[in-house]
Structure 1
């Protein structure tokens, strides 16, 4: 017997339920999902049937698998964005962790990035593992401080903080976005890699722009551009 199609009323009700649980307004969720606030309101009221792409975007904005909105997965199995953000905050503040081999740390960071970019269940798959990754990465960087591979460790940790800046923003923890963006700059500076440092400054600048701190973001961008030009051995006259 073929499975009956779910009504858009049910999907809309689940979108509204999980949006309210996340503590996000319609404006925030609509912005993250790339749709209008009016359209989201119509979806929640059952007046519009969202496409598969919109459902996926809404699930990403809410930090849940798309299957939860479709009724395929129980909501109880999902780590909520709020809880995930709290766990990340605790890991960032508490320290701990254990130093590991740099090759293993690099694979874990690369795997985390791959999950974030490619998984349809990136919140439920990635966020629970991030606190341990944060602690181990910081412990590894500290353990390498006086070693010959300290810059390599700092580069890997900087890449991790680049990911965390995006994740913390998506789970609604702008306070943590500032913290991880700042730590990303610290790690990039320690790596002595001008490209990583430029990316880290861009991440902090993006965080500032989202918070309407445009002057600070512009100043940071100018400093970052000057540093890259100096590292490349270029002069202002060489630029049009």
Structure 2
């Protein structure tokens, strides 16, 4: 299989381990995995399949997890090349914008700003990182100017800022940009504190854990649990209840990545109990989509993280997943389930179908996903070149892991 490119993550692992001056045995021991497994990862003979291993390796080698996740814009004509152009504008906006300072930009009527915010939310929901980079920076600066000039509208302005920051967080995370997601997360939390709203404090904390939790799962867990406890008394308010439930889902994921199944299931059950108190299956507050449907999706994803394999996908059976009006969220689940099913011979075709469905829903979201790229490349490395037919080879080509750089999928 010499015509296949080396594993993206394997190359980075080998480079960083050599830079740290660590042997395979020492690095593997620090990460809590076997040196044979680490060797196979580095040689591209086995795909990396879960957050737990990725983050353990990052901790062992004393780097951020994003060092391994690849930078899509570095691949010629890769999935993130055009989207990355907006990162510089995002970085500038995050530097310029500080609550209470007027950046001097022009401002429009609130009706126009509200329409622009709705359009930005659509871009985030579609996983369109190129559009986010083109719209969010200027909109954020306009909102900061309005905050100073129109104090009577500050509540809605602050909520708009949180939406901008979250869009930037997601964009920067998916493109593998270090530092910016955390800056945006902290700015969003500042806005939530200024709102003095428990539900928005909860939403901002969930956003932070969702985007930056890989930096420290223990911190993600403790912060989510502490704030959920604070919100308990106010859960008669539907919006507070939704924020409370999402914080328990965040805590569950943090526990799962730390291999604590019991704790993960405890928080899943608490989230499910909160969802059962809702009238709707899908809530709308802060576009977190908390409710019975999303709890089922999280239960499946956490089972996949814990190594339950295809069995974990059964958690969504009977749920109307399409009720969540967020293409990127659905694509995230379909891609996660798809890559796990793809690895098993008996579910391989179903897995490929889910990955293709995810790509149709949110192309940039899926094509910048390291775990999807690893799963597809692994299929090509371990099978005949034409295995899986045109669909698998076409997906590999669009992900930038085609057997021959620049080759046609046909």
| TM-score bin (small chain) | 0.5 to 0.7
How do 1:87-236 and structure 2 match up within 5 A? 87-95=89-97, 96=103, 97-118=105-126, 122-144=128-150, 146-147=151-152, 149-211=153-215, 213-232=216-235
Alignment match, 1:6: none
SS of the aligned residue for 1:98 comes to coil
Q: CA offset at residue 225 of structure 1? A: 0.3
Q: Distance in 2 between matches of 1:101 and 1:161?
A: 21
Q: CA offset at residue 156 of structure 1? A: 1.6
Aligned residues: 178
Q: Distance in 2 between matches of 1:224 and 1:108?
A: 31
TM-score normalized with structure 2 length: 0.37
Which of 26, 29, 40 does residue 8 from structure 2 map onto? 26
SS of the aligned residue for 1:172 comes to coil
Q: Cα–Cα, structure 1 residues 117 and 207, in superposed 2: closer, same or farther, change >3 Å?
A: closer
Gaps of 5+ in 1: 1-8, 17-24, 29-35, 42-60
Q: Cα–Cα, structure 1 residues 130 and 155, in superposed 2: closer, same or farther, change >3 Å?
A: closer
Gaps of 5+ in 2: 11-40, 48-70, 98-102, 238-269, 274-410
Q: Is the 8 A contact 1:98 1:136 kept in 2?
A: yes
Q: Is the 8 A contact 2:72 2:78 kept in 1?
A: no
Q: Distance in 2 between matches of 1:157 and 1:191?
A: 11
Which of 83, 86, 105 does residue 84 from structure 1 map onto? 86
Q: Is the 8 A contact 2:132 2:171 kept in 1?
A: no
Q: Distance in 1 between matches of 2:158 and 2:78?
A: 39
CA deviation digits over 1:41-89, x for unaligned, max 9?
A: 9xxxxxxxxxxxxxxxxxxx8369xxx569xxxx9xx6352x4222211
Q: CA offset at residue 137 of structure 1? A: 1.8
C-alpha RMSD of the superposition: 3.8
CA deviation digits over 1:172-201, x for unaligned, max 9?
A: 223111111111111122233332221110
Q: Is the 8 A contact 2:106 2:142 kept in 1?
A: yes
Q: CA offset at residue 104 of structure 1? A: 2.1
TM-score normalized with structure 1 length: 0.60
Q: Distance in 2 between matches of 1:63 and 1:115?
A: 19
Q: Cα–Cα, structure 1 residues 135 and 231, in superposed 2: closer, same or farther, change >3 Å?
A: same
Q: CA offset at residue 152 of structure 1? A: 1.7
